[in-house]
Amino acid sequence: MTRPPLPRIMLEPMVRAALLEDFGRAGDVTTDAIVPVDARAKTVLAARQAGVLAGLDLARIAFDLIDPRIAFTAECRDGDALAPGDVIATIAGPARGILSAERVALNFLCHLSGVASATASIVDAVRAYKAEIVCTRKTTPGLRAVEKYAVRVGGGSNHRFGLDDAVLIKDNHVAIAGGVGEALRRARENVGHLVMIELEVDTLDQLAEALDIGVDAVLLDNMDAKTLKSAVAMVDGQAITEASGRITPATAPSIAASGVDLISVGWLTHSAAILDIGLDFLS
């Protein structure tokens, strides 16, 4: 499967900002004081845990921005399954630059591999079902594009990237509009018909009303497995069905068994722990 990385022009600004955040007003005073300007090093990025790799380009850019003479040779690709000890890349060249960029490179790589690994664990858990795992807008501020990329790398898909690329009518919108029907009508009237409209429903009654009016997708929020199954049956292919509500790898299979098309999981991007990856000096 092809999972092309994001173009460097999208990634470089955030790597540059992260390096400047780490360098502060005087740069790497330790390395500058101790490491001779002509010292060279050969190092490897190595997995310390099993998981799925994501963010290799961000690491590559970090070393390149510090010193373009650093040779970064990837031994893996984003999406590869890692076992502890696996060598991800070889990084060789001026020792100062390698030491100065190390932490920023790892901060991106460990975080995004953590997101990809979390995604893969849920994707695996529901592999027997048709349900696709999707992420939400509950992302870390400033990192949405790359976290959503990491979800794709882990085998998931992306729901909305922001408030602007689809309509998602939530309970508060419905309350203000005065009902599901009015909310749907206003949405249909005010957005172009290339924009998908999804509605959050909490009950089967609301679902029935929505299907009557017509809707592209329904978000079935916090329903138990049995109600979900009834909902999917009621929809019967007239709309995309999506389940949500604090779903974990443990609870995902029972949700997926309902036959929903999508399961959205905020945890992938807001609470996944890092995947531990380190930089080892060979010489």
Which are the catalytic amino acids? 103, 138, 170, 200, 221
Q: Pick between residue 166 and residue 234 the one whose CB is nearest to its own copies.
A: 166
**Min. distance of Cβ 108 from its own copies in angstroms?**
6
Q: Pick between residue 116 and residue 226 the one whose CB is nearest to its own copies.
A: 116
Is 60 near its own copies (CB under 8 A)?
A: no
Is 51 near its own copies (CB under 8 A)?
A: no
Is 183 near its own copies (CB under 8 A)?
A: yes
> Could you tell me which stretch among 78-86, 194-202, 231-239, 251-259 binds its own copies (CB under 8 A)?
194-202
Is 61 near its own copies (CB under 8 A)?
A: no
Is 169 near its own copies (CB under 8 A)?
A: yes
Is 33 near its own copies (CB under 8 A)?
A: yes
Is 29 near its own copies (CB under 8 A)?
A: yes
Sole binder of its own copies in the list 90, 158, 203, 251 (CB under 8 A): 158
Q: 116 to 145, contacts with its own copies by CB under 8 A?
A: 132, 134, 137-145
Q: Pick between residue 35 and residue 47 the one whose CB is nearest to its own copies.
A: 35
- For the chain, the maximum distance between any two Cα atoms, rounded to a whole number of angstroms, is 73
**Min. distance of Cβ 213 from its own copies in angstroms?**
14
Q: Pick between residue 208 and residue 281 the one whose CB is nearest to its own copies.
A: 281
